[in-house]
Amino acid sequence: MRMTRRTLALGAASLLGSTQLATLAKADWDGFGIGDGLEDFWLATDAYIYGYPLVTMEMTRRVMTNVAKPKGTHAPVGQLIKMREYPNASFRDVTAPNADTLYTTAFLDVGDEPWVLSLPDLKGRYALFPMLDGWTNVFQVPGKRTTGTDAQTYAITGPNWNGTLPEGVKEFKSPTSIVWLLGRIYCTGTPEDYKAVHEIQDQVGLVPLSSYGKAYTPPEGKVNPDIDVKTPVRDQVNRLSAVEYFTLLAQLMKTNPPAAKDAPEVARFARIGLVPGQDFDASKLNASFVKRIPEVGFDRIMVQFKINNEVKHINGWGFTTKTGLYGTDYLMRGLITAIGLGANRPQDAVYPTSLKDAVGSAYDGANKYVMHFPKGELPPADGFWSLTMYDGGYFFVENPINRYSISARQDLKRNADGSVDLYIQHESPGPDKESNWLPAPAGKFILMLRMYWPSESSPSILDDTWTIPPVKVLSS
């Protein structure tokens, strides 16, 4: 499986998906095969956008849990995936991988019974264990920033569960039956630190409440041969017909109910046959435009990268601090689902991404670049920061020093005035600068700056008091 996290930035001038959609006259739609019922068509694309996170989460769950036993990036429901090392340049399972944290993750179904998560003493190590509901909201996030690093135990309960928990077990109630645990543990990548993190991973416990405190052997998972585990999840979602999509969404909403604040929006969807708790009534969907709903709905999501005011574009970097908790901003929620499924709350992580240099030219390994940080102005993060290099497909770049990201753990060399320059280029900048070198491919590339636990006091990216410096071409 390849879980695509690729940013597809559609042009803001694109007709489909732009704010012009709402003002087009009926005649303008004739060329798009929509015909009569423009109001219902617009409503149907609203419903498509609203349900995109839940449908994507379910399709991701199916693919990632379709195994008998844990293996690689897959594990049955209720069993932990433990990534043991950072991927190298040959890795193609997940786009935009990181070389900073080792994942410890699991999909849970808390509809019938709670699950108990036991975290060991992290001994001060940075880690976070965000829990996402079916709508991709991070409803809880235990970890160093929020709950400290001492041993702790939580019961993740479903929306309708009521009961008594064992002493010392704290309840985290999920709004939905689907829960995705996305634990991340910081690791320097040395053999000694890999060993230390593996010991932590092996002490993480996950059992159904009925087995808590007892010997527990997870059952084998059921493998469904009809599930496509090769096609990227987003492609699988996008190729669903409107009827297939809304039929699945209606089923999922029975055990993953909309939030109370969504009631006014969801009530509108009854007109096209989508009612929470009921099967989808396809007879209410206008057949003349049904084929266009998925395409236009997805275009409306993706164009947000260009036109949404909550997406900032500074010095060639694009990012948002509106992730993890979305309220009623369904377009932003859909965008993050499409380009960064599993995103944290901004207090835990911000991910500025750059496809172009300071003057707006696409990055090319034929050039040499520098990213200059004045004295005292390295990325302010209480967890860690790193700058990661990807090729045009969002994969790591093979290089002679096997360095896929650069951060403070490289023991960066400072200039005489205390500033720091990062050298971004295909060939080594020389032995005296190699500690500050981020190797680039010979062709196109993309940069991502990860800031985990960004500083909440100034200077901070969260309140715009710290600005990401541009990446500039070095003059010869």
Mean pLDDT, the chain, rounded, equals: 92
CB count in 10 Å sphere of residue 361 = 11
Task: Dig out the tokens for 281 from the structure.
Answer: 């009534």
Q: What is the distance between the alpha carbons of residues 220 and 224, in angstroms, rounded to a whole number?
A: 13
What is the chain's length?
A: 476
What average pLDDT does the segment 77-98 reach? 90
What pLDDT score does 91 carry? 85
Q: What is the distance between the alpha carbons of residues 325 and 344, in angstroms, rounded to a whole number?
A: 9
* 186-201 per-position pLDDT tens digit: 999 999 999 999 999 9
Residue 55 CB partners (closer than 8 Å, separation 6+): 237, 240, 245, 248, 249, 252
What average pLDDT does the segment 65-70 reach? 97
What average pLDDT does the segment 300-315 reach? 93
337: pLDDT strictly greater than 60: yes
Task: Domain ranges for the chain, please list them.
Answer: 81-211, 352-473
What pLDDT score does 33 carry? 52
Alpha carbon of residue 322 to chain centroid: 12
43: pLDDT strictly greater than 80: yes
Within the chain, what is the greatest distance between any pair of CA atoms? 72
Q: What are phi and psi of 211, to 5 degrees?
A: -110, 5
Q: What is the distance between the alpha carbons of residues 230 and 368, in angstroms, rounded to a whole number?
A: 37
* 143-175 per-position pLDDT tens digit: 999 999 999 999 999 999 999 999 999 999 999
CATH number, span 352-473? 2.60.120.600
Range name among 148-152, 228-232, 291-295 with the lowest pLDDT average: 228-232
**Cross-strand partners of 198:** none
What average pLDDT does the segment 397-417 reach? 96
Confidence of residue 95 (pLDDT cuts 50, 70, 90): confident
What pLDDT score does 476 carry? 55
Cis peptide before 459 (omega within 30 of 0): yes
In contact, 424 and 380? CB cutoff 8 Å: no
**Nearest one of 108, 58, 63 to 254, comparing CA atoms:** 58
Strand (E) or helix (H) holding 251: helix 242-255
Confidence of residue 475 (pLDDT cuts 50, 70, 90): confident
Strand (E) or helix (H) holding 181: strand 178-186
CATH number, span 81-211? 2.60.40.1610
* 100-129 per-position pLDDT tens digit: 999 999 999 999 999 999 999 999 999 999
373: pLDDT strictly greater than 80: yes
